Structure 1
């Protein structure tokens, strides 16, 4: 009769028949206590937006399992640092949101002191591969995005239902531009060397009439 796979964390019959079986049981139970990565869902987010990278509270999505095969949901893992694509003072800010699914990578040692100081520090304890010392990387099994930057392979598409706000010293566009909608400018607009607000027409006689609409 084959052994039940529900009892992987407990002793099996063959573990008691030889020294190899006993050693295998010890090794198996040691490995069962090691954590590497967990599929998790975000419950709360702090420190988002134009702030130093913050933290998320997450809950593992794959339940714990006892020796009899019963399942027990995990509790929440609090204050997990989340990943932001950043180099120096430049970053792409796409903060996680409650409901997102991602991966919690389990650190080898206790990172509590580094989290608190954001500097190199001694481990907070002798704990190893504890799920409390997780790091969050998002973007797995999530729903269809409603706003995005999409590199299609033949172009780039940007979509948002809100306002696209660009703050820069200047903007240079090296291509033709088509606009479907009105254009408003608080300053002058130039076509070549011709000013929209300051250009003059010669050969115009004073009078009380108005010009015709543009043609």
Structure 2
């Protein structure tokens, strides 16, 4: 029994019809060449780039080109309007939408999903087509470069890093750690309608601290002793160097404060 040899899928050779097996094998290969399952793609267009909106779609270009009967490379066109994956359960989601230039995987459904995409409900196939590019879904995150903004999970803990800002908004923000919490960004903003609570064995602030200047400004209270290496000033009066008025003996002022 002769064996068919090809340089490209579906390329016909003299051995293709040498016998019944070879002829049937050629027909099957021709059919399978048109069946799409999964392929690496690059994103060429995005609808909804990080907005708090329903999941959008992407336009992608397959990275593995086609071959014609002579073995010449033939590039694919753009595949439009493929829904992409977003990690979401109910109204809870991580919004991490694709960007142009991302590399991912397009997975092709075995039936026409156009009606499902439109209604987001169970529906009959939109047509008789099967394993077609148009019925694909995009999964991102393959073969991409180093991230600049990320959440990293490691044996040393969880790192939240941003080159611009970290914003947290909620009715109440609670941060609890048995050892440490690390967040790195030029600006970290926490906005709560109720309260912000930070609980840890030790909390270190490395930078200037400002309190009580906004509309939510108020008093500060500490449950333990307060120690300052620098000056402490209250209503314009320094704690480490000040006098007392209405003192009758001497020159009318007391000496500096002393430890009791």
Give the alignment's TM-score, normalised by structure 2: 0.70
Tell me if the contact between 2:57 and 2:81 (Cα under 8 Å) persists in the aligned partners.
Answer: yes
Partner residue in 2 for 1:79: 81
Q: CA RMSD in A?
A: 2.2
> Residue 222 of structure 2 aligns with which residue?
191
Greater shift in the superposed pair: 131-140 or 119-128: 119-128
Q: Could you say which residue in structure 2 is the equivalent of 1:24?
A: 25
Q: 1:117 — aligned with what?
A: 119
Gaps of 5+ in 1: 195-207
Cα distance in 2 between the residues matched to 1:209 and 1:108: 78
Unmatched segments (≥5 aa) in structure 2: 177-199, 226-235, 242-260
2:22 is paired with a residue whose SS is helix
Greater Cα radius of gyration, structure 1 or 2: 2
Q: How many residue pairs get matched?
A: 199
SS in 1 for 2:165: coil
Q: CA deviation at 1:24?
A: 0.9
Corresponding residue for 2:42? 41
Change (3 A) 1:88 1:25: same
Deviation at 1:169, TM superposition (A): 2.3
1:155-203 deviations in whole A, cap 9, x for unaligned?
1111101111111222223323333323444444443389xxxxxxxxx
TM-score by length of 1: 0.84
SS at match of 1:132: helix
Question: Larger RCO: Structure 1 or Structure 2 (Cα < 8 Å, ≥ 6 residues apart)?
Answer: 1
In structure 1, the residue corresponding to 2:169 is in which secondary structure?
A: coil
State the SS of the aligned residue for 1:113: helix
1:182 aligns with 2:208: yes
